[in-house]
């Protein structure tokens, strides 16, 4: 089935915000028993424990009753399609659908996600009634709260919220605010929800001045951007086992919020910069308790390049152990010994429960290779970064 204009636009937006690896928009599949062609949701975002099931509707033609269209296409058909998608997840052992990278994954594994957001995004004409556009949710007795977004509002949100973790956090806030302020919510524009979210996650009040402050803000997302890094993963990394081998690493990066991404980015760039230092540089590192993942960034020397794998694995294990983390991502870089205008960059990942190790304890006690990890307290990351 050919995509509508809105389906194409939202696929592009979701691919940029959520990464192509975790976005699915080619979602028809066949029942293996009946050979019947079935339609999964229009767009799906699946990132670890986060699942967004998205239905997209376009209002065709200027004529027709807008309210009737909204009730039939949005509140009935789109909700039913989301319900069918949730039923498919429960009923099938395997549904193989293609992500925006062209890789096929079994979406049924997303059934175990802790968070399942149900979302309807629709586009309409300028004459669309404001009272319908202000409707933020549909309460279904079968599938619970369903987010309703006009396409323009959804695009706007994705300009301000720059990571999958932030958008999921915003949707959680949006639900909680609606549940505590149901009557008020249908009188407020989407911009107010976003403005309130930027100021505080407390949902028990209404403050008109928030939206005025939002209008004064400019978006400074470049300092959080890791597009250069995603391009490396997408185009240049060599897989040794299977096409999606690097997904576990990129998942941990994709789950970071903007302040965590900022810390990640400055250490990655610092690692590259310090490859040219005359002295051997202590690795840079961070630990994100929220996701229980540690990261270590190792600037290395070209003349030692044959030892890169040992160095990467040793620092990876030592940092993971030192921080008592379950997961750890390690990256090591050095100037290419054949072409000094390029860097060789290698990654590794480990995911296993922390346990006491007497040998590592002794090594870290006698010769700790790291600088101290400092704890930062951010009162409001959105106010500090917009």
pLDDT at 386: 43
**Is 351 in contact with 316 (CB distance < 8 Å)?**
no
pLDDT at 294: 96
Beta-strand pair 293-299/327-335: parallel
Structure tokens at 188: 């407020």
**CA proximity to 368, closest of 325, 303, 330, 315:** 315
- Cβ–Cβ contacts within 10 Å for residue 54, how many? 27
Structure tokens at 187: 């009188």
Q: Cβ contacts of residue 256 below 8 Å, gap of 6+? A: 163, 165, 264, 288, 291
- Tell me the C-alpha distance between 269 and 258, whole Å: 16
35 burial via Cβ count (<10 Å: 0-12, 13-18, 19+): exposed
- Tell me the C-alpha distance between 44 and 110, whole Å: 10
- The 8-class DSSP code of residue 211 comes to H
Give the CA distances from residue 77 to residues 68, 69, 310, 315, 328, in Å, rounded to whole numbers and listed in that order: 12, 10, 56, 53, 44
Q: What are phi and psi of 317, to 5 degrees?
A: -65, -40
Domain formed by 5-219, architecture? 3-Layer(aba) Sandwich (3.40)
pLDDT at 289: 92
**Is 151 in contact with 9 (CB distance < 8 Å)?**
yes
pLDDT at 303: 93
- Domain coordinates of the chain in residue numbers? 5-219, 223-383
- Cβ–Cβ contacts within 10 Å for residue 336, how many? 12
**CA proximity to 77, closest of 58, 91, 49:** 58
Give the CA distances from residue 169 to residues 117, 130, 194, 255, in Å, rounded to whole numbers and listed in that order: 11, 26, 11, 11
The one-digit pLDDT tens for each residue of the chain (386 residues) are 566 777 787 887 787 777 888 999 878 888 777 888 888 999 999 999 999 999 999 887 666 688 899 999 999 999 999 999 999 999 999 999 999 989 999 999 999 998 899 999 999 877 788 889 899 999 999 999 999 999 999 988 888 887 888 899 999 999 999 999 999 999 999 999 999 999 999 999 999 999 887 776 665 556 666 666 666 655 545 444 556 778 898 899 988 888 888 899 899 999 999 999 988 899 999 999 999 999 999 999 999 999 999 999 999 999 999 999 999 999 999 998 888 888 888 999 999 999 999 999 998 988 888 888 766 655 556 655 44
- Tell me the C-alpha distance between 166 and 152, whole Å: 19
pTM of the model: 0.87
């Amino acid at each position: 089935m050919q995509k509508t204009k809105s389906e194409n636009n939202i696929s592009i937006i979701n691919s940029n915000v959520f990464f192509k690896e975790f976005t699915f928009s080619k979602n028809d599949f066949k029942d293996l028993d009946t050979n019947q062609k079935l339609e999964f949701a229009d767009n799906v975002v699946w990132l670890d424990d986060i699942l967004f099931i998205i239905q997209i509707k376009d209002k065709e033609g200027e004529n027709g009753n807008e309210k009737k269209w909204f009730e039939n296409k949005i509140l009935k058909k789109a909700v039913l399609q989301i319900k069918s998608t949730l039923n498919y997840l429960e009923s099938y052992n395997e549904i193989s659908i293609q992500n925006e990278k062209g890789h096929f994954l079994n979406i049924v594994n997303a059934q175990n996600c802790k968070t399942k957001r149900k979302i309807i995004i629709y586009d309409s004409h300028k004459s669309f009634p404001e009272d319908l556009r202000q409707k933020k949710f549909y309460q279904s007795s079968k599938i619970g709260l369903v987010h309703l977004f006009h396409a323009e509002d959804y695009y706007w949100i994705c300009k301000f919220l720059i990571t999958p973790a932030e958008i999921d956090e915003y949707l959680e806030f949006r639900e909680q605010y609606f549940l505590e302020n149901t009557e008020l919510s249908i009188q407020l524009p989407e911009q107010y929800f976003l403005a309130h979210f930027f100021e505080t996650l407390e949902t028990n009040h209404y403050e008109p001045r928030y939206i005025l402050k939002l209008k004064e803000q400019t978006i400074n997302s470049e300092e959080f951007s890791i597009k250069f890094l995603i391009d490396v993963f997408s185009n240049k990394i060599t897989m040794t086992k299977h096409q999606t081998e690097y997904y576990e690493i990129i998942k941990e990066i994709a789950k970071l919020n903007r302040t965590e991404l900022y810390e990640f980015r400055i250490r990655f760039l610092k690692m590259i910069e310090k490859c040219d230092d005359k002295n051997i540089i202590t690795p840079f590192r961070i630990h994100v308790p929220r996701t229980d993942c540690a990261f270590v960034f190792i600037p290395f020397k070209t003349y030692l390049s044959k030892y890169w794998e040992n160095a990467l694995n040793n620092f990876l294990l030592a940092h993971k152990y030192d921080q008592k983390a379950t997961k750890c991502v390690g990256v090591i870089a050095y100037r290419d010994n054949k072409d000094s205008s390029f860097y060789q960059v290698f990654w590794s990942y480990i995911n296993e429960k922390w346990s006491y190790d007497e040998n590592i304890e002794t090594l870290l006690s006698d010769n700790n290779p790291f600088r101290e990890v400092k704890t930062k307290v951010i009162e409001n990351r959105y106010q500090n970064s917009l």
